[in-house]
Amino acid sequence: MGAFLFPETPSGRSSLIPPPPWHYSGEMITVEFRTHPDRVAELLPEGATLVDDDPGAVALIWADWQSSGDDFEEILDPGRSQYKEVFAVIRGRWNDETWSRCPYIWVDKDFAMVRGYHQGYPKKLGEIWMTRPITVGRAGPRLESGGRFGATVSANGRLVAEATIQLTEPTDSPGFVNGHPMLHNRRWPSIESDGSNSMDELVTMRGYDGEVADVWAADATLALHSTPTEELALLEPLEIIGGYYHRVGVSWRGGTTLEAR
């Protein structure tokens, strides 16, 4: 069967996503902040613990992507290539190493949802907006000191998070929370729906050929909102660490199963 994923057909053409490698190019707005470490700890996988250094640090990252399979067909049908996402990142210790982990993420396309499930991202649909820098005219910020950006994410018709950043100066790195290999769960209950699982894995992954450009530090504001279905606001922002804008290119070919229960 040629299909990487469902729907499975002889041609594989219907598959929600083509086989890896997948290539990504995008821009990101990041706000790093400190919350109650207990709120971080309860989102770590079983057996993982808080990091010692800045255990309550969280990154909330907006990303505006183009992505594609290895034949670059989606690039010419951009509705299949472009998507936006917002994701929270926390850190934990497991097996004597430090990991990044995404406990919440919203995207606006089906192919991105399902590709996320393959990688262990717990994706939901959301409505996501983020200001883009401009080079002509007046309707937006330039990539220069003082440039101001806004970013929002809504789910189920309710605002979940809103941020602004104001660029201060070029910098080397867009934050530290999302800097480790990811530690994700991939779990699907058995169809018996009796508490047993058909798949219950701890996995990790990392991209390759990563490229970062136009990294700016920024002052940031952030507000998180509780809704009937979203608990991001439990990661209450007690203190802003910093904001960032940057561009990123990266490819992804596969990950590693750390544990399969």
- The span from the CA of 98 to the CA of 67, in Å, is 28
Answer for which of 92, 141, 237, 243 binds its own copies (CB under 8 A) is 141
Number of residues that bind its own copies (CB under 8 A): 108
Q: How far is the CB of 76 from its own copies (least distance, A)?
A: 4
Please say which residue, 52 or 111, places its beta carbon nearer to its own copies.
111
Answer for which of 140, 168, 176, 233 binds its own copies (CB under 8 A) is 140
3-class state of residue 111 by DSSP: helix
Q: Which stretch binds its own copies (CB under 8 A): 11-19, 89-97, 170-178, 237-245?
A: 11-19
Whether the upstream peptide bond of residue 7 has omega within 30° of 0, thus cis, is yes
Cβ atoms of residues 153 and 161 within 8 Å:
yes
Residues paired with residue 30 on neighbouring β-strands, in sequence order? 61, 244
- The span from the CA of 260 to the CA of 202, in Å, is 6
- The span from the CA of 149 to the CA of 245, in Å, is 9
Please say which residue, 32 or 230, places its beta carbon nearer to its own copies.
230
Site string for its own copies, 215-244 (x = CB under 8 A): -------------xxxx--x----------
Q: How far is the CB of 152 from its own copies (least distance, A)?
A: 6
Scan for tokens 């189920």, then name that residue.
156
Scan for tokens 């104001």, then name that residue.
166
187 binds its own copies (CB under 8 A): yes
| Sign of the dihedral through C-alpha 91, 152, 110, 63 | negative
Binding residues among 164-183 for its own copies as defined by CB under 8 A:
164
92 binds its own copies (CB under 8 A): no
146 binds its own copies (CB under 8 A): no
Please say which residue, 53 or 192, places its beta carbon nearer to its own copies.
192
Answer for which of 43, 57, 58, 241 binds its own copies (CB under 8 A) is 43
Answer for which of 52, 71, 79, 261 binds its own copies (CB under 8 A) is 79
Site string for its own copies, 104-133 (x = CB under 8 A): xx---xx--x---xxxx-x-xx-x-xxxx-
Please say which residue, 14 or 95, places its beta carbon nearer to its own copies.
14
For residue 5, count CB atoms less than 10 angstroms from its CB and return exposed for 0-12, middle for 13-18, buried for 19 or more.
middle
**Strand ranges inside 119-157, DSSP E:** 123-125, 127-130, 148-155
- The span from the CA of 128 to the CA of 216, in Å, is 21
Answer for which of 143, 236, 253, 259 binds its own copies (CB under 8 A) is 253
Quick one: which of 90, 62, 84, 106 has its CA closest to 176? 90
Please say which residue, 52 or 194, places its beta carbon nearer to its own copies.
194
Please say which residue, 10 or 169, places its beta carbon nearer to its own copies.
10
Helix (H) / strand (E) containing 37: helix 37-41
